[in-house]
Amino acid sequence: MMNWWRNIKSKKLKHRIIVSIVLLYGFLLITVVSIMAKRYGVESTLLLVICIPIILDFINTNYLRHKGKYPPKGQVTLNDVMRFVSEGKTILALRAYRELHNCGIIHAEKAIQEIRKEILNQKLEEKGSQSK
């Protein structure tokens, strides 16, 4: 599906295409938010403040999946969560845990803290056994 993208040799052209797509999504976002604001009688600025981080998170996740730094949709495992925690990528660990267990942010955050404690304890035990 992305063969056409690989065939483009010019970085400048690729950059222009990406900028155009981002601008198009931005225009679409503003249009949808305006329509929703009029329909529900909500301040459009408030909707933008809520919608923009969600959309940026979605774009970032798809980018990371494309680069192979985040598992494909529906294929997240506990090993991925533990890898993200050990690498210090807490946000990715939270996202993966929530996707894996279909839970809220508070539950995921508590679980990530427990996983982090377990990993630290394992590292301390390994250092203790190596020094003996």
Please write the tens of the pLDDT for every residue from 76-107.
999 999 999 999 989 899 999 999 999 988 99
Query: Full-prediction pTM beyond 0.85?
Result: no
From CA 103, how far away is CA 131, in angstroms rounded?
40
pLDDT (0 to 100) of residue 54:
74
Helical axes 44-67 vs 90-101, angle rounded to 10°: 90
Residues 96, 71 contacting (CB under 8 angstroms): yes
